[in-house]
Structure 1
Amino acid sequence: MSTTTSSSVIRGPLIALLGYFVFSTHDAIVKSLENYSVFQTIFFAMLFGYVPFSLARITDKRLTTLRPNNPALVILRSALMVGAMCFAFIAFSILPMVQVYVLLFTTPVMISLLAIPILGEKIHFQRWTAIILGLIGVIIVLRPTPESLEWGHIFSLISAFCGASASIISRKIGNQESSATLILFPLLFNVLIAGATLYFVYKPMPFNDLMAMFAVGVLGLLGQLLVLNSYRLSPAAFVAPMQYSQLIWAVLFGFIFFNESIDQWVVVGSIITIASGVMIVWREAVASKTQPNLNTPNPRITMDDGSLPNPPD
């Protein structure tokens, strides 16, 4: 391995660590805005962060058409991405951050399971082992009883399911749709749906809260740019596991800002879930020799349209 390639392999994960720290900061601010409707938070986050960048990115490409070749699937994908973001934001307002993250980290497991009937993929022994481990980790974290199960747990899992389903659709139609279509439709769905509900849920915002929503938009954008750049520099097998560093920030932010604590079973379940996710990512990266379509488990407007170049060998 050349010096340049070795440096890229190291730089990619380091940039990813920074990106996931930014994402965790983003989520902590979202949690601090729990007195506002998620639709109000999403609307202003889109307005401040994603709209200017996404429109600039779209107009920078050579467009032939914005008309989707698979309109039903493009619309379904967009709706799923809106659902993933909304349910995650609600879950952050209810549960400790670390519990939300652990449940969102089941996204790779759900992608693997959904790929069987929808994409016709075959699951080999190693991935089945990882899937079973992931399910065990979730059970340990939830310890489902009528007393322990909260709506936040259910919303987190729904968010993960929506994100996984959107990823499966991206795999299915990614080569048939333009980059602009894949970027623009989820953006429009978020802005239109959140904007349509704003009349009913809007609460006047002090300047500090308005700046917090501005920060949500900017940090969400910055986090994506950092993580996407890390995938350009290094193989996905080295970058993707860095997303689990968010658990460390969740524990620290939860303790410092939200007076949260975690018990030993959440720690055990987290470790098992992380091991499951890493196994799946490595298995897919090594088997396919390409970037696996296992995005950050935090649901957000993805700017990865499938056009990322392969990292250096």
Structure 2
Amino acid sequence: MDQHMAKNDTKMGILLMIGATIVFALQDGVSRHLASEYNVMMVVMIRYWFFAAFVIAVALKQTGSLRLAAQSSQKGVQIFRAFVLVAEICVMVLAFTVLGLVESHAVFVCYPLLIAALSGPILGEQVGWRRWAAIGVGFVGVLIILQPGSGVFQLAALIPLLSALMFALYGLLTRYVARRDTTATSFFYTGVYGMLFITPLGLIWWEPMTLTDWAWMASLCVSGALGHWLLIKCYETAEASAVQPFAYMQLPWAAMIGLTVFGETMRSNVVIGAGLVVAAGLFTFWRESLKRAAS
């Protein structure tokens, strides 16, 4: 089977993306449970130990040596990228414990719009007026969720927004390094340097865990590796523009877990705002795919 054939199974790609969103939503639920019992840094650290081991195994399988996997002409950017992601995960897990899954995800879902808005200044890409309009609509959606002028607004609501901004920056840096580095190299830096950043912090806040929670921790580690593996396979199987819209499925899955497992509530402004953000994001993807087809 040649590379071109491998790249064009859109149906399979979509199924892999939906699978990844289910795994990530479950992971968010487990993260929320563990981080409400233990320190966020410790939870993220243990997850990263496993993730780094997984990344090293993948690197060895793909390149045959860690030195080859770590070869990059842009090491500084790669290391900064790894730092941004591990910080983003800590911020998002904190958001789950403070705000819950429903509201955190409703705000976080604006990250593709932030990527579109920042792709101009950071990557030098052209963003036309239609995409700027969509970004504006998405931002209105975020404001509807946050309700900054009302008594409902709390500073905690800005935590997932900060997380979305960091994740957008991570996404743009990933796009930037992809111009010269392979996926295997980027993946290697993400896992290994992320682990190096978080380990000292996690060890400072180490707490003994119950046996049951170690079982949850194990499921968190395995699901993290599985989710990333599904994503890699997804992008190998289908064009990114075809599968990317399905990444939004993580929002309903996470909301279902928040509502059923954690007894969270769904306020109407959150539903309306998230709907606007998702619609604006889908429009942005559509414009991007049109632009790619034209070029």
How far 1:60 sits from its partner (Å)? 2.1
SS of 1:61's partner is: helix
Cα deviation digits, residues 81-129 of structure 1 (max 9, x gap): 1111111111111112121112211111111121111222221122112
The AA in structure 1 aligned to 2:53 is P
Give 2:138's match in structure 1, choosing from 125, 134, 137: 134
Match runs of 1:242-261 below 5 Å: 242-261=246-265
Tell me what 1:177 maps to.
181
Tell me what 1:10 maps to.
11
Tell me what 2:198 maps to.
194
Tell me what 2:129 maps to.
125
Q: Residues 74 and 135 of structure 1: is their aligned pair in 2 closer, same or farther, counting only changes over 3 Å?
A: same
Please give the root-mean-square deviation of Cα atoms over the aligned residues, in Å.
Answer: 2.3
Tell me what 1:77 maps to.
81
Give 1:100's match in structure 2, choosing from 75, 100, 104: 104
Cα deviation digits, residues 158-177 of structure 1 (max 9, x gap): 11111111222222222323
SS of 2:56's partner is: helix
Q: TM-score, normalised by structure 2?
A: 0.88
Residue 45 (1) aligns with residue 53 (2)? no
| Distance of 1:12 and 1:173 partners within structure 2 | 23
The AA in structure 1 aligned to 2:170 is A
| Distance of 2:232 and 2:180 partners within structure 1 | 21
Query: What residue ranges of structure 1 are gaps of 5+ in the alignment?
Result: 291-313
Q: Residues 146 and 265 of structure 1: is their aligned pair in 2 closer, same or farther, counting only changes over 3 Å?
A: closer
The AA in structure 2 aligned to 1:56 is A
Match runs of 1:15-34 below 5 Å: 15-33=16-34, 34=36
Say which structure is richer in helix. 2
The AA in structure 2 aligned to 1:10 is K
| Distance of 1:122 and 1:95 partners within structure 2 | 35
How far 1:179 sits from its partner (Å)? 4.4
Query: What residue ranges of structure 2 are gaps of 5+ in the alignment?
Result: none
| Distance of 1:54 and 1:263 partners within structure 2 | 39
| Distance of 1:177 and 1:12 partners within structure 2 | 23
Q: Residues 244 and 177 of structure 1: is their aligned pair in 2 closer, same or farther, counting only changes over 3 Å?
A: closer
How far 1:289 sits from its partner (Å)? 4.5
Aligned length: 285
| Distance of 1:169 and 1:265 partners within structure 2 | 32
Tell me what 1:218 maps to.
222
| Percent of residue pairs bearing the same amino acid type | 26
Question: Would the aligned equivalents of 2:109 and 2:274 in 1 still touch at CA under 8 Å?
Answer: no
